[in-house]
Structure 1
Amino acid sequence: MWAAQHEAPIYSRLIQERGDIPAQVRAVAEQTLRDLERVMPAPLPRAMPTQQTHSPALNSGGQGSL
């Protein structure tokens, strides 16, 4: 449980009365992420495009042709 419950008695009382809502939300979020990972696997990484060493648009002077 959260460390502040020892510092704030009202927090402990709320947990007793209503339950530990942040912990419940965290558990549901983690379960949702696991379910999503199961049905929607992460996409494969894209291959890096190859770099061209010579551009046909450049002439011998290094200027692009118009």
Structure 2
Amino acid sequence: MKPDSTRTEELPIYESLIRERGDVVEEARVVAEETQHQMSLALSGVAPASQETGAP
């Protein structure tokens, strides 16, 4: 198969799913990094700012 024989309209199934449903893997990675950062702060004794909307 020649590289120039592939068309841009023929995307792998994963790219089609990302377009339809969003990039769940990327979203999970971002949430995991945020959680890791918050846990690092908590373990070092730094109190993270409250992110609750109804907190006084």
Specify the TM-score bucket, using the shorter chain as the normaliser: 0.5 to 0.7
Query: Hey, which bits of structure 1, 4+ residues long, moved more than 6 A?
Result: none
More helix by share: 2
- Deviation by residue 1:15-66 (Cα, 9 ceiling, x = unmatched): 001111111101100000000111112xxxxxxxxxxxxxxxxxxxxxxxxx
Q: Which runs of 5+ in 2 are unaligned?
A: 1-7, 45-56
Query: How many residues are aligned here?
Result: 36
RMSD: 2.2
Mapping of 1:1-66 within 5 angstroms?
Answer: 9-41=12-44
Q: Could you tell me which runs of 5 or more consecutive residues in structure 1 were left unpaired when the two chains were aligned.
A: 1-5, 42-66
Q: Which has the higher contact order (CA 8 A, sep 6+)?
A: 2
The TM-score, its normalising length taken from structure 2, stands at 0.55
How many percent of aligned residue pairs carry the same amino acid? 40
**TM-score normalized with structure 1 length:** 0.47
